[in-house]
Structure 1
Amino acid sequence: MLTINEIDVYYGAIHALKKMSLAVEEGTIVTLIGANGAGKTTTLKTISGILRPKNGTVVYKGKDISKTAPEKIVSLGISQVPEGRRVFQTMSVMENLEMGAYLRKDKKEIAADMENVFVRFPRLKERRKQMAGTLSGGEQQMLAIGRALMARPELLLMDEPSMGLAPLLVKEIFEIIKDINARGTTILLVEQNANMALSIADQAFVIETGEIVLKGSAQQLMKSEEVKKAYLGG
């Protein structure tokens, strides 16, 4: 579904991603794990079109999207749940969800999708008229996921969905990710909680200083001594 071929991405003079390649098969959960500053968020921003690779290509469903504008990438079926949630603080829960469907014109189906978000996240339904900035961290994360789903993505990019959440909520968010995938959405998950990420993923890549250093099935990486030492506290 998605192939990244040897991309080089720079922030000014800083070489953030170095000849990086990875692939995401349709219907799977793929996780990208690594330390802070390794290049995980940069990878997602490059797929979303927010950053442009200097070399290499990003290919989605056979089409090179390396130079495609971010809003066009959303219309092709790729949505992102950004790091730190980034909800529109001074807008209500419903307005945030409507923003997720900004490019859509099918009003009846938008209403049905919003209802589906409320079924999945009953707390958001209770707080639908509340300003997003007044929600708890967990509720904001649910809203960020709901907003991304309103674009009806085929590929969902998730950046650190468990960041700053209590352990019980982390478990809940990961159950939601599994459910979204089970209903047909392919997921590329960037996550510092390597244990949780590997427990739900099919494939996994380890990134260090902008380079993929290990890849394989999530099960293989869970058993790797290198990964255990560096990321699983083993």
Structure 2
Amino acid sequence: MLKVNNIDVFYGNIHALKEVSLEVNEGEIVTLIGANGAGKSTLLKTLSGLLKPKKGEVLYQTQQIGGKPAQAIVKVGISHVPEGRRVFSTMSVEENLELGAYLRTDREEIKKDIANVYGLFPILGERRKQPSGTLSGGEQQMLAMGRALMAKPKLLLLDEPSMGLAPLIVKQIFEIIKMVNEKGTTVLLVEQNANMALSIANRAYVIETGKIVLSGTAKELQESEQVKAAYLGGL
């Protein structure tokens, strides 16, 4: 579904991604793990059109999308849930969800999909008229995911969904990621909580200082001594 071939990405003079290659097959959950500043968020921003690769290609269903504007990438079926959630804090929960569907014109289907999001995240249904800035961190994460799902993505890019959340909420968020995947959405998950990410993923990549240094099935990486020492607390 997604194939990244040898991309280089720069922030000014900083070489943030160095010849990164990876692929995501339809129906998978693929996770990218790595320390802070390793290039994980940079990769997702490049895939969603917020950054342009200097070199290499990004193929989505064989179509070259590297460097295309973000709205064109949403249109082909890729949605990005950014790090830090980025909800529109003065707008209500429901208005945030409606914004997620801004490229769509099928009004009745949009209503149905909002109802589906409330089915997935019942707490959002209870808070539908509330300004989203008044929600807890976990509720804002649910809203950010719900908003991304309103674009009807085939591929969902999730950036650090567990960041700053209580363990119980993290467990809930990961169960919902699995549910979204089982309903047919492919997921590329960037996550510092390597234990949780590997527990739900099919395959995984490890990124260090802008380079992919390891890849394999999630089980292989869970059992790798290198990964255990660096990311799994030596477990």
Query: TM-score by structure 1 length?
Result: 1.00
Structure-2 separation of matches of 1:181 and 1:121: 15
Are 2:5 and 1:28 aligned?
A: no
Are 2:55 and 1:43 aligned?
A: no
Report how far residue 67 of structure 1 moved: 2.4
Structure-1 separation of matches of 2:186 and 2:120: 18
Corresponding letter in the other structure for 1:18: K
Question: Per the alignment, in what secondary structure is the counterpart of residue 184 of structure 1?
Answer: coil
- Give the alignment of 1:166-205 within 5 angstroms: 166-205=166-205
Corresponding letter in the other structure for 2:209: T
Identity in percent: 69
Structure-2 separation of matches of 1:119 and 1:19: 41
| Structure 1 runs, 4 residues or longer, greater than 3 Å off | none
Cα distance per residue 1:84-113 (max 9 Å; x no partner):
000000100000000000000000000000
Report how far residue 197 of structure 1 moved: 0.1
Corresponding letter in the other structure for 1:155: L
- Give the alignment of 1:1-234 within 5 angstroms: 1-234=1-234
Cα distance per residue 1:85-144 (max 9 Å; x no partner):
000001000000000000000000000000000011110001000000000000000000
Structure-2 separation of matches of 1:134 and 1:111: 24
Kept after mapping to 1: 8 A contact 2:65/2:73: yes
Cα distance per residue 1:159-205 (max 9 Å; x no partner):
00000000000000000000000000000000000000000000100
Structure-1 separation of matches of 2:102 and 2:44: 21
Structure-2 separation of matches of 1:67 and 1:139: 32
Kept after mapping to 1: 8 A contact 2:51/2:67: no
Structure 2 residue runs without a partner (length 5+): none
Report how far residue 68 of structure 1 moved: 1.2
The number of equivalent residue pairs is: 234
Report how far residue 210 of structure 1 moved: 0.2
Structure-1 separation of matches of 2:20 and 2:72: 23
Structure-2 separation of matches of 1:51 and 1:122: 34
Corresponding letter in the other structure for 2:184: G
Corresponding letter in the other structure for 2:109: E
Structure-2 separation of matches of 1:20 and 1:68: 18
Query: TM-score by structure 2 length?
Result: 0.99
Structure-2 separation of matches of 1:161 and 1:68: 25
Corresponding letter in the other structure for 1:19: E
Structure 1 residue runs without a partner (length 5+): none
Structure-2 separation of matches of 1:141 and 1:67: 27
